[in-house]
Structure 1
């Protein structure tokens, strides 16, 4: 099934989903290190990094 998603840029306030792009060290102590290694990661729900996927 498809989920009807609609994206719009939020210039103020809090977004439901934040999309970003990073490489190497990006602030969470788990650097991306390229092809064959860590390209992305996600964290279980909780505080801090909880729920993040990037």
Structure 2
């Protein structure tokens, strides 16, 4: 098996435009799904911080 780290210093190869657009579309969909999941889920750090601050006041 060849050492893959030997290819690090070589110039990048060009990528076909249709492949590049497919990858960018997949990334956009993944980002959208992550943002939707964040929108409909609890931010546990915020919840814990809110609960702790309300306990101190009482």
TM-score, normalising length: structure 1: 0.22
- Structure with max Cα Rg: 2
For CA contacts below 8 A with separation 6 or more, give which structure has more relative contact order.
1
Structure 2-normalised TM-score? 0.21
